[in-house]
Each structure stands twice: as C-alpha cells, then as structure tokens.
C-alpha cells in the first residue's frame, strides 16, 4: 500500500492507474473499525484498485464539537488497510486541503441539510459536501463507498453527485453493529462500559419497532401513527438513561416526515441520542 500525503502526487499516481483500472474510493476520518472495513472490503471486491482517505475534516465539526479530541490512531489504521489489501492511502494534512484564504464551499441548497442532524449541527453537512466534493474532484473514482449508518450524509452525497454530474456511482453499505446491536462508531470509544451497555437501547428500540410494523404489514393490520411509534422509542431510550436529540420517521431519500401508510412506501426511522456526553446516531430501514 502506498501512503500519499500530497495532492500532486495523488493526481500523478492515479492518472496512470485510471487508464486501465477501475477505481474505488472510501472516504473516512480514520479510527477505523469493522464498519469502515466493510466499505473497504466491498470496494476491493468491486474495483481493480482501492483508495482510502483518512482526513479528520475540520469544516464538518461545530465550534463546540470534538475536533481536537477526535481519535487519530494513524499507525494502527494504516496497518489494517495494508492487511486488507488497499492500494493507496491518501492522508493529507489540513493545510493541503484547505487554505485560510479559500473562498469556495460546496453546499446543497435543500432543506435536506437542515433536517435530522442538521437541526443541532447547522454547518456540518456543508463541511461534508465540501470535503467529499474536493475528494471526488482529486480522485475521480468510478465508485465511492458510504455507510448507511450516516443515512443523511448518504442522501446528501447522492444529491450532490447527481447535481454536479460527478459520474461516480455511490455505493451504500449496511450498518455494521456490535453483538449488542450498537452501531459501530469511532465515537463509541468515548463511552464508559456502563454507558455502552445502556446505549444498546437505541438499536433495540429500532429493531422492536421494525418488527412491530412488519408484523402488522404482513397481516394487513392497522398501522400505528408515526407519533406513537416515536413516543415508544423515546421512552425506551430515556428509561435507559439516554437524552434524545431527535427521533423521526422519514422518507429515506427526501428525509421528509412520513406516516406509516403501507403500499410501496419505504420508511427510515432515524435517531440521535446522547449517552453521557457522547452523541450517537442510528437508523433502520423498513420496506
Ligand atoms: P467516518 O470515519 O465516521 O467519517 O466514516 C467513514 C465512512 O464509514 C462513512 O461512510 C460512514 O457512514 C461509514 N461507517 C461508519 N460507521 C459505520 C458502521 N457501523 N457501519 C457501516 N458503515 C459505517
């Protein structure tokens, strides 16, 4: 695996590779776990060449968020990627990507960025679209891999890719979970053992609601209203000691609130909740 830190070198190396090989990109902020590695493995299976980026992107962190504390175990990460068979690791310094004199950002003009996580993190998604847009321009991959775990990010990146005609296939990968059901996240490291046990209430509440809705759909029964389902979830998480940021039943593409109505409609139930000081997100799709 070649480690690249400079954009010029990246461009040079990839121009050669791209002539005869398909290229998969997996953007990450490092502190890699099995969730990230599932994206990496999928890219390796689907492309001749895989490039992973590790960049803790400052523009997606709010003023009171954990940018300085964000874990950066670079040696362990590069070892994992090397062992997995990744071809290139792009790990630029902040100064390589941003200059204090930059005047350009990439931002979706859509309410989709203001919903769910956009409520409490108003500048987060323009940081995400700016860095992912820059990476797409620098790397120009055939496919790019993102986790369903960050469902809003995925919907926003799909939209940006379509609007800016990047011609890159966005591949969504399922959420990888711990045995307890807790979605893997680099931020799980901040949880105490006890908080971690209690935080599994998030996924438990999602699984139980999914089962409830699917059971009703299978016998053609009357579906509950979204409000009561959200109430059920909130109660389970609060009993476990969590503090809710949001719980919403939405359309997975537009993120508009929806009611359960049967038919062809798909639903996503999305949650953000704090356990201790750690903000966790999770979601589940119901088809
Ligand atoms: P991050 O390093 O947090 O920016 O995540 C990099 C990529 O890994 C994003 O596309 C995430 O959605 C994805 N990812 C993070 N956690 C998981 C998980 N538990 N399962 C699947 N994908 C994940």
Question: pLDDT truncated to tens, each residue of the chain (287 aa)?
Answer: 999 999 999 999 999 999 999 999 999 999 999 999 999 999 999 999 999 999 999 999 999 898 999 999 999 999 999 999 999 999 999 999 999 999 999 999 999 999 999 999 999 999 999 999 999 999 999 999 999 999 999 999 999 999 999 999 999 999 999 999 999 999 999 999 999 999 999 999 999 999 999 999 889 899 999 999 999 999 999 999 999 999 999 999 999 999 998 778 899 999 999 999 999 999 999 98
Distances 138 to 15, 107, 134 between C-alpha atoms, Å: 10, 18, 6
Q: Which of 57, 147, 200 to mutate to test the pocket of ligand 1 (most atoms within 8 A of CB)?
A: 147
Q: Mind telling me the catalytic residues?
A: 36
SS3 166: coil
Distance 36 CA to ligand 1 centre (A): 5
C-alpha angle 116-118-121 in degrees, rounded to nearest 5: 125
Q: Which long-range contacts (CB under 8 A, 24 or more apart) does 163-166 make?
A: 163/108, 164/106, 164/133, 166/136
CA–CA gap between residue 242 and residue 66 (Å, rounded): 19
Whether ligand 1 lies within 6 angstroms of the CB of 28 is answered as yes
Pick from 10, 24, 33: nearest CA to 177: 33
Q: What is the largest CA-CA distance in the chain?
A: 61
SS3 213: helix
Whether ligand 1 lies within 6 angstroms of the CB of 184 is answered as yes
Q: Which of 37, 80, 149, 270 to mutate to test the pocket of ligand 1 (most atoms within 8 A of CB)?
A: 149
- Please tell me the number of Cα atoms within 13 Å of 126 on its side-chain side: 12
Whether ligand 1 lies within 6 angstroms of the CB of 92 is answered as no
For residue 286 the two structure tokens come to 């119901």
SS3 179: coil
- Please tell me the number of Cα atoms within 13 Å of 88 on its side-chain side: 28
Other Cβ atoms less than 10 A from the Cβ of 271: the count is 25
Distance 11 CA to ligand 1 centre (A): 25
Distance 274 CA to ligand 1 centre (A): 18
Q: What is the pTM of this model?
A: 0.97
CA–CA gap between residue 191 and residue 135 (Å, rounded): 31
In this structure, are residues 260 and 268 in contact, taking their beta carbons and an 8 Å threshold? no
Burial label for 47, CB within 10 Å (0-12, 13-18, 19+), is buried
Starting at the edge strand found earlier in the chain, the sheet holding 278-286 runs: 243-250, 267-275, 278-286
pLDDT at 125: 98
CA–CA gap between residue 46 and residue 108 (Å, rounded): 29
The CA radius of gyration of the chain, in Å to the nearest whole number, is 20
For residue 169 the two structure tokens come to 């296939």
Of ligand 1's atoms, which has the minimum distance to the CA of residue 150?
Answer: 12
SS3 18: helix
Distance 37 CA to ligand 1 centre (A): 9
């Amino acid at each position: 695996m070649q480690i690249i830190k400079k954009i010029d070198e990246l461009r040079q190396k990839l121009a050669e590779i791209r002539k005869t090989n398909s290229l998969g990109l997996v953007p990450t902020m490092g502190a890699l776990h099995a969730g990230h590695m599932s994206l990496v493995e999928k890219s390796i299976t689907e492309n001749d060449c895989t490039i992973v980026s590790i960049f803790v992107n400052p523009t997606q962190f709010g003023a009171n968020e954990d940018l300085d504390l964000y874990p950066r175990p670079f040696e362990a990460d590069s070892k994992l990627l090397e062992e997995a068979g990744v071809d290139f690791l792009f790990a630029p310094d902040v100064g390589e990507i941003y200059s204090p004199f930059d005047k350009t950002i990439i931002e979706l003009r859509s309410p989709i960025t203001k919903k769910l996580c956009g409520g409490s993190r108003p500048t987060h998604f323009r940081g995400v679209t700016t860095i992912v847009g820059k990476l797409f321009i620098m790397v120009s991959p055939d496919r790019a891999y993102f986790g369903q775990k960050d469902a809003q990010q995925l919907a926003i990146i799909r939209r940006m890719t379509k609007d800016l005609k990047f011609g890159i296939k966005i591949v969504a990968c399922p959420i990888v979970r711990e045995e307890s059901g807790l979605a893997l996240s680099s931020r799980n490291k901040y949880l105490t053992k006890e908080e971690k046990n209690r935080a599994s209430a998030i996924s438990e509440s999602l699984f139980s609601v999914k089962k409830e809705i699917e059971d009703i759909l299978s016998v053609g029964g009357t579906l509950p209203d979204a409000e009561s389902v959200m109430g059920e979830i909130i109660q389970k998480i609060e009993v476990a000691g969590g503090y809710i940021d949001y719980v919403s039943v939405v359309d997975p593409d537009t993120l508009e609130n929806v009611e359960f109505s049967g038919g062809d409609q798909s639903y996503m139930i999305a949650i953000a909740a704090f356990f201790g000081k750690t903000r966790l997100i999770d979601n589940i799709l119901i088809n």
